[in-house]
Amino acid sequence: MKKQLTALLCLAALFLLTACGPIGDTISDLIRGDVACRVGETYTTSWFSFTVLAVETPASYAGYTPPTGYTLVDVTLSESCAEGSQPMGTFDFYLNAPAFPDYIYPLDPLDETMMPTAFTLTPDTPATYHMLYQIPADTTGLRLTYTEMDADNRAGAAYTIDIPDERQ
């Protein structure tokens, strides 16, 4: 009887977790595990879809050259959403690496091709932007990451792209 009651409670909890309002409202919508991503493929999160189109290391960008000992990483990203407007911005995608004590976020926009600090992604209006990161030149194990967060600031799945150490 105890096993049956436990199974019934688990099923009830699973039902409640999957029936909690619109997508992205609660952490239950986010519990899916992490996603290993690749450049050129499209991934759908709880709120939007994205594709990393390219990763490059330019010597300069829009007239900006990094200081000695640093390099630029230019990530070209396309985003879209099917339902509802989504707040987006440079805070959504960050770089991390074993040597970094903190995450590295993109530089503030240098021109109109770069992702705005904050904007609203609207349905059926895809957006393509560059995100420019400045990192120590000798960094290895670099990863671009987007982590789902619900309204209560609880983390869900992390979408991560390993960036080759021989960046071109």
Q: pLDDT (tens digit, 9 = 90+) per residue, 74-131?
A: 999 999 998 888 899 998 999 999 888 889 999 999 999 999 999 999 997 899 999 9
Which pairs count as long-range contacts for 123-129, CB under 8 Å and 24+ apart, including other chains? 123/81, 123/82, 123/83, 123/84, 123/85, 124/80, 124/82, 125/80, 126/78, 126/79, 126/80, 127/78, 127/79, 127/80, 127/88, 128/53, 128/76, 128/77, 128/78, 128/79, 129/76, 129/77, 129/79
For the chain, which residues make up each domain, given as ranges? 23-162
Fold of 23-162: Immunoglobulin-like (2.60.40)
Q: What is the pLDDT of residues 54-90, one digit of tens each?
A: 999 999 999 999 999 999 999 999 999 988 888 999 9
Q: What pTM was estimated for this model as a whole?
A: 0.77
Q: What is the pLDDT of residues 27-47, one digit of tens each?
A: 444 445 689 999 999 999 888
What's residue 28's pLDDT?
42
